[in-house]
Amino acid sequence: MAEREYSRYQQKVIQRYYDNREQIDEQRLAELVTNLYLAPPAKQKKLWTTAEELLTRMQVPQTRIDHIIQSGDPTVLARVVEDLQKGILRRSK
C-alpha cells in the first residue's frame, strides 16, 4: 500500500491538531455534558460511550472514569470537566 505524501501545509495542520488535542478533547467533553442533559435516553448511551473514550484518552484515572460512567449523571461529568479545566484533576501517566 502506497504511503500518502502530505504537503507542508497539510503536515503543519496535522501537527497543530495533535499539539492542541488535549484542549480539543476538553472542549468536546464540555459539549458532551450539554448534549447529555438535552439528549433523549436512547441517544444517551452512545454519548456516555464517547465520554468514556475521551476520558480514557485524556488519561483520567480509571477509577474516576468507572465512577462517572456508573453514576450516569451528567452533573458528575460536568464536575470532572470543571476540575480538568482548572487543573485540579491530575491525569495518570
> pLDDT by residue (tens digit) across 28-65?
999 999 999 999 989 999 999 999 999 999 999 999 99
Average pLDDT, integer, range 10-31: 93
Residue 88: pLDDT band (50, 70, 90) is confident
| Cell 487543573, residue located | 87
Q: CA separation (Å) from 67 to 39, 46, 77, 85?
A: 21, 17, 10, 19
Q: Does residue 14 surpass a pLDDT of 70?
A: yes
Q: Does residue 18 surpass a pLDDT of 80?
A: yes
Average pLDDT, integer, range 62-85: 92
Residue 7: what pLDDT?
Answer: 94
Alpha-helical runs (H) found in 58-88: 62-71, 74-86
